């Protein structure tokens, strides 16, 4: 007759009360599993959209400053041995593609309106892989043979009043300080998901851009990997392989170092999750304290008898902590299982839940619940720890009862 | 001496009123004695038993059991003392409701850390001694009053205590069952030389105890030795 088996029998003495307590824990843990799963999916979606909206997994430049002011002075940071670096990068098995890119500010004008835009120019054949989250909403994407053609983000097209087939004039300061202008045909309009990008972004093919800017190499190499998980490891490999072995200094940045918005969203969700977790656990703690305190009260005489026949105070504490442990274990397991079942039902039966556009986003999205093994483990452990902690006070109260008084208790 | 009390006083406070439970009692019990405590309700019988069992403490005076001053022992020492030296029998049995008759008797042995095989042997023997083998897997709510009290006696005696303290052991039993229970205790007293102290209102109980102490208002007012 171990303390654990005695505790298990004790928690089912008052089945209805235990069932209510277990239900409270189960619903709390289920809610946490669902919310964890939702946050995980949302962050994953944002991560992939950030990476495939032009950021790539890793970015290589010749100076740290490029990442802050490079778009306004790309000429200062041009690679001198671009071909060699690209071929070395492409030799890495984790690397899917290396995309040379130049990004620059320009003025874009229609017959009536003009505005400042940010031009992202990369080889047209990489548009699909690197900009896969970009949705062409009118016309078509750039193709390899396109020259002096442009794809506008939806916000830019609306502001400037451009439509497919229009010719717009782009003006830019070239490498030697001169002003260059070119006529560009609008072939496509794209939605980028992020409103701030939708209002400013324009896409050109790299050849046109290099010709237009009068440059022969680019200031930025974007590396797309086979899987996002490889990011850290490949960054390390590149840093070690190229350190001091290229003519220019080389700075490698991972996507998350460059994605301020992603980090803000992650921080926001982490805080939200902690607040929700705290509130749910508070409710669970008080439910368990209530149950256990009632149990101690009802079993006052029994505690007195146990102590009279030689059980130490520690033994009483252990008994009630073990009861808390069982409640946490059963509530945690059922909560986690329910969370997984409900996640699967929502994902498979209802095709996720539609979430309206979050702040700063242009469009809503279909959210799924993607609870991970870590989510499940974390919430299960939380249930256990919280249940045992919540039992501490009632256990202490039980252990401190005066034996003679408790034997007289009616 | 098994038990020795020296000028023991004990008061209880109930709200603003103070009740004197023991008013300067001195008492000595020798090994193998079977002593009855009689007296009206509130005369101090249960308090006296509680002090001997180390589950309550005197306000003044000293209580020794086997030459040890109980008031000077830590909780851990007292628990060990109760587990190894004492057996408690209560009027309302105080069995653990989720445990079977077998497990209730086994529990004190678990507390002592006894090996499972030895525990089983002892419990089976005790079940036979108290005549409960047939109902050993029944829980207390499936047993009659007499059977429950026999489980309680089994639980108190299974550790082979030197001193058994019983508070109204037949209080909830009919005369026939009460007698059977007393016969059982008498046998153990004679066979094992176990010391018994029994608080009771029942003249039948004291007919089994060669020494009877009569209490009133926290004092021993009369003593009979037969």
B110 closest CB neighbour out of A1, A301, A302: A1
pLDDT at A185: 95
In terms of domains, do A234 and A268 share one?
A: no
Distance (Å) from the C-alpha of residue A22 to the closest C-alpha of chain B? 20
B82 closest CB neighbour out of A9, A308, A402: A308
> Crossing angle of helices A300-308/A260-298, nearest 10°?
80
Instruction: State mean pLDDT over B10-35.
Output: 90
Residue B93 has pLDDT above 90, yes or no: no
Let me know if residue A254 belongs to a domain.
no
Instruction: State mean pLDDT over B158-168.
Output: 91
- Say whether B99 and A302 touch across the interface (CB within 8 A): no
Residue A27 has pLDDT above 90, yes or no: yes
Let me know if residue B158 belongs to a domain.
yes
Interface check A307 vs B, CB under 8 A = yes
Chain A residue numbers with beta carbons less than 8 Å from the beta carbon of B85 are none
- Say whether A6 and B99 touch across the interface (CB within 8 A): yes
Let me know if residue A127 belongs to a domain.
yes
Contact between A228 and A124 under an 8 Å Cβ cutoff? The reply is no
User: Within a 10 A sphere around the Cβ of A244, how many other Cβ atoms?
Assistant: 6
Contact between A284 and A20 under an 8 Å Cβ cutoff? The reply is no
ipTM rounded to 2 decimals? 0.89
Instruction: State mean pLDDT over A175-185.
Output: 89
Let me know if residue A42 belongs to a domain.
yes
Between β-strands A149-153 and A179-191, what pairing exists: parallel, antiparallel or unpaired? parallel
- pLDDT bracket for residue A362 (50, 70, 90): low
Residues 169-208 in A contacting B (C-alpha not used; CB under 8 Å): none
Let me know if residue A86 belongs to a domain.
yes
Distance (Å) from the C-alpha of residue B175 to the closest C-alpha of chain A? 25
Q: What is the pLDDT of residues A65-120, one digit of tens each?
A: 898 887 778 888 999 888 888 988 989 999 988 999 999 999 999 988 999 999 99
Interface check B75 vs A, CB under 8 A = yes
CATH number, domain at B111?
Answer: 3.40.50.300
In terms of domains, do A326 and A384 share one?
A: yes
Phi then psi for residue A104, to 5 deg, are -150, 160
Between β-strands A114-122 and A95-109, what pairing exists: parallel, antiparallel or unpaired? antiparallel
Let me know if residue B148 belongs to a domain.
yes
Residue A353 has pLDDT above 90, yes or no: no
Higher-pLDDT residue of A323, A174: A323
pLDDT at B1: 85
Q: Which of A54-58, A160-164, A361-365 has the lowest mean pLDDT?
A: A361-365
In terms of domains, do A266 and A245 share one?
A: no
B55 closest CB neighbour out of A9, A302, A308: A308
Distance (Å) from the C-alpha of residue B104 to the closest C-alpha of chain A? 10
Let me know if residue B6 belongs to a domain.
no
Instruction: State mean pLDDT over A287-292.
Output: 90
A60: helix, coil or strand? strand
In terms of domains, do A111 and A44 share one?
A: no
Between β-strands B211-216 and B34-38, what pairing exists: parallel, antiparallel or unpaired? parallel
- pLDDT bracket for residue B160 (50, 70, 90): confident
Residue B166 has pLDDT above 90, yes or no: yes
Q: What is the pLDDT of residues A203-248, one digit of tens each?
A: 999 999 999 998 999 999 999 898 888 999 999 988 888 776 767 8
Final residue of a structural domain among A201, A223, A249: A249
- Say whether B75 and A313 touch across the interface (CB within 8 A): yes
Contact between B104 and B151 under an 8 Å Cβ cutoff? The reply is yes
- For residue A288, which of A53, A6, A18 has the smallest C-alpha distance? A18
In terms of domains, do A76 and A206 share one?
A: yes
Mutation target vs B (from A309, A396, A405; most B CBs, 10 A cutoff): A309
Q: What is the pLDDT of residues A138-166, one digit of tens each?
A: 999 998 888 999 999 999 999 999 999 99
Distance between CA atoms of residues A288 and A369, nearest Å: 28
Most confident stretch, A175-179, A248-252, A291-295, A334-338: A334-338
Percent of chain B's residues with pLDDT above 90: 56
Percent of chain A's residues with pLDDT above 90: 51
pLDDT at B191: 87
In terms of domains, do A229 and A284 share one?
A: no
Let me know if residue A58 belongs to a domain.
no
Distance (Å) from the C-alpha of residue A405 to the closest C-alpha of chain B? 9
pLDDT at A389: 92
Contact between B147 and B140 under an 8 Å Cβ cutoff? The reply is no
Chain B residue nearest residue A9, CA to CA: B98
Chain A residue numbers with beta carbons less than 8 Å from the beta carbon of B108 are 309-310
Spell out the alpha helix ranges (H) of A51-99: 66-69, 82-90
Contact between A130 and A54 under an 8 Å Cβ cutoff? The reply is yes
Final residue of a structural domain among A220, A249, A278: A249
**Residue-wise burial string across B34-43, b where 16 or more C-beta atoms lie within 10 A, e elsewhere:** bbbbbbeeeb
In terms of domains, do A237 and A335 share one?
A: no
Let me know if residue B13 belongs to a domain.
no
Let me know if residue B65 belongs to a domain.
no
In terms of domains, do A234 and A97 share one?
A: yes
- Say whether B111 and A309 touch across the interface (CB within 8 A): yes
Interface check A407 vs B, CB under 8 A = yes
Residue A359 has pLDDT above 70, yes or no: no
> Crossing angle of helices A373-399/A260-298, nearest 10°?
30
Give the bridge partners for B215, in sequence order: B220
- For residue A98, which of A71, A62, A59, A141 has the smallest C-alpha distance? A59
Chain A residue numbers with beta carbons less than 8 Å from the beta carbon of B119 are none
A297, containing H or E segment? helix A260-298
Contact between B222 and B185 under an 8 Å Cβ cutoff? The reply is no
Question: Mean of the per-residue pLDDT values for chain A?
Answer: 89
Interface check B55 vs A, CB under 8 A = yes
Eight-state DSSP code of residue A6: H
Interface check B90 vs A, CB under 8 A = yes
Mutation target vs A (from B12, B41, B94, B159; most A CBs, 10 A cutoff): B94
Residue B17 has pLDDT above 80, yes or no: yes
Residue A360 has pLDDT above 70, yes or no: no
Distance (Å) from the C-alpha of residue B10 to the closest C-alpha of chain A? 13
Chain A residue numbers with beta carbons less than 8 Å from the beta carbon of B139 are none
The range of the structural domain enclosing residue A215 comes to 63-249
In terms of domains, do A41 and A133 share one?
A: no
In terms of domains, do A279 and A365 share one?
A: yes
Distance between CA atoms of residues A190 and A198, nearest Å: 8
pLDDT at A48: 83
Chain A residue numbers with beta carbons less than 8 Å from the beta carbon of B97 are 13, 302
How many angstroms separate the Cα of A377 from the Cα of each of A41, A372, A391, B166?
17, 9, 21, 51
How far separated are the first and last CA of chain A, in Å rounded? 27
Distance (Å) from the C-alpha of residue A386 to the closest C-alpha of chain B? 26
Chain B residue nearest residue A299, CA to CA: B96
Let me know if residue B200 belongs to a domain.
yes
Contact between A320 and A391 under an 8 Å Cβ cutoff? The reply is yes
Residue A172 has pLDDT above 80, yes or no: yes
Distance (Å) from the C-alpha of residue A297 to the closest C-alpha of chain B? 15
In terms of domains, do A223 and A267 share one?
A: no
Let me know if residue A257 belongs to a domain.
no
Tokens of residue A253, six digits: 């940045």
Residue A364 has pLDDT above 90, yes or no: no
How many domains would you assign to chain A? Answer: 2
pLDDT at B117: 95
Final residue of a structural domain among A224, A249, A274: A249
- Say whether A1 and B103 touch across the interface (CB within 8 A): yes
How many domains would you assign to chain B? Answer: 1
The range of the structural domain enclosing residue B198 comes to 32-57+73-225
Q: What is the pLDDT of residues A251-266, one digit of tens each?
A: 999 998 888 888 888 9
Residue with tokens 């797309």: A224
B157: helix, coil or strand? helix
DSSP A13-40: TTHHHHHHHHHHHHHHHHHHHHHHHHHH
Distance between CA atoms of residues B175 and A55, nearest Å: 92
Let me know if residue B53 belongs to a domain.
yes
CB pairs under 8 A between A and B: 74
Distance (Å) from the C-alpha of residue B30 to the closest C-alpha of chain A? 22
In terms of domains, do A229 and A81 share one?
A: yes
Let me know if residue B62 belongs to a domain.
no
């Amino acid at each position: 007759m171990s303390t654990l088996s005695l505790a298990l029998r004790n928690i089912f003495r008052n089945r209805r009360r235990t069932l209510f307590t277990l239900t409270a824990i189960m619903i709390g843990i289920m809610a946490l599993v669902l919310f964890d799963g939702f946050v995980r999916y949302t962050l994953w979606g944002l991560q992939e959209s950030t990476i495939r909206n032009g950021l790539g997994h890793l970015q290589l430049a010749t100076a740290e400053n490029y990442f802050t002011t490079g778009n306004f002075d790309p000429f200062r940071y041009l690679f001198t041995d671009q071909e060699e670096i690209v071929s070395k990068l492409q030799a890495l098995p984790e690397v899917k593609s290396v995309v040379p890119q130049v990004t620059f500010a320009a003025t874009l004008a229609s017959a009536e309106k003009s505005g400042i835009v940010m031009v992202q120019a990369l080889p047209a054949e990489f548009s699909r892989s690197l900009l896969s989250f970009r949705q062409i909403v009118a016309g078509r994407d750039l193709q390899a043979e396109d020259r002096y053609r442009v794809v506008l983000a939806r916000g830019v097209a609306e502001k400037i009043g451009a439509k497919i087939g229009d010719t717009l004039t782009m003006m830019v300061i070239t490498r030697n300080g001169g002003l260059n202008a070119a006529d560009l045909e609008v072939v496509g309009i794209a939605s980028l998901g992020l409103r701030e990008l939708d209002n400013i972004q324009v896409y050109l093919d790299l050849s046109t851009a290099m010709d237009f800017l009068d440059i022969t190499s680019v200031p930025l190499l974007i590396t797309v990997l086979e899987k996002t998980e490889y990011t850290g490891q490949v960054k390390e490999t590149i840093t070690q392989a190229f350190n001091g072995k290229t003519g220019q200094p080389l700075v490698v940045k991972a996507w998350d170092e460059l994605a301020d918005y992603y980090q803000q969203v992650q921080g926001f969700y982490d805080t939200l999750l902690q607040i929700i977790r705290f509130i749910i656990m508070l409710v669970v703690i008080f439910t368990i304290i209530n149950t256990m305190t009632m149990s101690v009260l009802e079993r006052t005489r029994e505690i007195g008898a146990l102590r009279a026949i030689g059980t130490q105070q520690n033994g009483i504490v252990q008994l009630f902590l073990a009861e808390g442990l069982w409640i946490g274990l059963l509530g945690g397991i059922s909560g986690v299982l329910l969370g997984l079942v409900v996640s699967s039902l929502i994902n498979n039966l209802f095709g996720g839940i539609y979430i309206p556009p979050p702040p700063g986003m242009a469009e809503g999205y279909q959210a799924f619940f993607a609870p991970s093994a870590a989510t499940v483990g974390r919430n299960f452990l939380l249930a256990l720890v919280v249940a045992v902690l919540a039992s501490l006070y009632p256990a202490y109260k039980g252990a401190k009862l005066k034996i003679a008084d408790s034997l007289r208790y009616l | 001496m098994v038990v020795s009390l020296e000028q023991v006083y004990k008061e209880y406070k109930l709200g603003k009123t103070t009740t004197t439970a023991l008013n300067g009692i001195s008492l000595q019990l020798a090994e193998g004695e079977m002593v009855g405590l009689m007296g009206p309700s509130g005369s101090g019988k249960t308090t006296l038993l509680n002090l001997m069992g180390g589950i309550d403490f005197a306000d003044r005076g000293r209580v020794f059991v086997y030459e040890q001053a109980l008031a000077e022992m830590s909780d851990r020492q007292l628990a060990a003392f109760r587990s190894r030296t004492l057996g408690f029998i209560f009027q309302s049995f105080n069995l653990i409701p989720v445990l079977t008759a077998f497990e209730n008797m086994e529990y004190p042995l678990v507390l002592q850390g006894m090996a499972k095989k030895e525990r089983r042997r002892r419990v089976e023997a005790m079940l036979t001694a108290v005549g409960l083998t047939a109902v050993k897997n029944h829980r207390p709510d499936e047993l009659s009053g007499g059977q429950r009290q026999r489980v309680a006696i089994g639980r108190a005696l299974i550790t082979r205590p030197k001193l058994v303290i019983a508070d109204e052991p037949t209080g909830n039993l009919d005369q026939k069952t009460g007698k059977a229970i007393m016969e059982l205790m008498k046998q153990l007293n004679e066979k094992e030389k176990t010391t018994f102290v029994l608080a009771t209102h029942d003249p039948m109980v004291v007919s089994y105890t060669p020494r009877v102490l009569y209490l009133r208002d926290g004092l021993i007012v009369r003593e009979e030795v037969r």
